[in-house]
Amino acid sequence: MAESTIVSNTENLMKYMRLDQKGAVLAEYIWIDGTNGIRTKTKTLSKPVKDYKELPEWNFDGSSTGQAPGDNSDVYIRPCAIFPDPFRGGDNILVMTETWDPDGTPNKFNYRHECVRLMDANAKQQPWFGLEQEYTILGPDGWPYGWPKGGYPAPQGPYYCGVGTGKVFCRDIVEAHYKACLYAGIKISGINAEVMPSQWEFQIGPCEGIELGDHLWVARYLLYRVAEEFGAKITIEPKPIKGDWNGTGLHTNVSTAEMRKDGGMKAIEDACKKLGERHEEHILVYGEGNAERMTGEHETASIDKFSYGVANRGASIRIPRQCAKEGKGYLEDRRPASNACPYRITGVIMETIFGGQEGVDLSKAES
């Protein structure tokens, strides 16, 4: 693997990982910071827990994460979902949290709270989501792993879903992440090598409502942690390598109860039309740097134009051919960038198709 810049010795570490915790449980609290990044800290619990509601609220220094000023820096983290911890094992857990300000209001970077309100208001629609998270594996030098130093591999073509040395890179990281997700109970539905070498994808879903965002964020956390152990870096920048190379996206598959019924194609087409009417509002929350990716080339639509069509990977929205044939199913929004927040993506889709809720603002941090 990559030459590690981290001091890590698995054999020595395992001596300590096997030590008896004397009934204590380690809870890794996870939250989203002011740059759409992941932060964590560990709390010792006196006993195992089965439900996130058993866990205490905690806090952190928001002035060090871009979420609060230095003279009023406390930000509170409230547990909202728990997962088995694949790194520590046993009764140890991962805890997905929301960030809240001292006055009892959601922190401006807390988009989960906004998303929950939209999902709860439209629960009868039974929204299913499946997100395809693309990412690129880099060496410690920031260059894609396996690429010639300062140079480029052969053009795209043999790498997508490829097999064999020279066609795929870092499969061990990908496999380790896959197993870690399964252990944690993440609804990961698959993986594949992508079009650009060292670019990979994992899929989360189908999940209903808010569950998708929780599972995708924790899957991202697991990916970063696994990569740490191999001395590699993960980037979800939407255009990590400029030029004639594919960017990375977060294609979003959406299905409602009405879309899944016989004759659901009408609901799918109606949703596409509504999504087109709010194209600019969606692009605003679909990730940073997306204009470099959405050029109308490399299987993307132009960021300035909205379109939808059957089996068209150059459209903003793709309706799978099988769905068109059956007259029901789902749609795929191909616009979100790989670094977009899944709470914002799924939230704005619900808002556009079914209407907003008073006080909900999925672009509040930009205002």
Q: Are 144 and 138 in contact (CB under 8 A)?
A: yes
For the record, the structure tokens of 16 come out as: 């300590």
DSSP secondary structure letters along 63-103: GGTTSS-GGG-EEEEEEEEEEE-TTT-TT-EEEEEEEE-TT
Q: Is the predicted pLDDT of residue 4 greater than 60, yes or no?
A: no
Q: Is the predicted pLDDT of residue 230 greater than 80, yes or no?
A: yes
Q: What is the pLDDT of residues 258-301, one digit of tens each?
A: 999 999 999 999 999 999 999 999 999 999 999 999 999 999 99
When pLDDT is averaged across residues 1-17 and rounded to a whole number, the result is: 72
Banded pLDDT at 5 (limits 50, 70, 90): low
Predicted TM-score of the model (pTM): 0.96
pLDDT at 74: 97
Q: What is the DSSP letter of 199?
A: E
- Cα gap 128→114, rounded to integer Å: 18
Q: Is the predicted pLDDT of residue 134 greater than 90, yes or no?
A: yes
When pLDDT is averaged across residues 124-137 and rounded to a whole number, the result is: 98
Nearest to 234, CA basis, from 148, 298, 166, 170: 170
Q: Is the predicted pLDDT of residue 254 greater than 90, yes or no?
A: yes
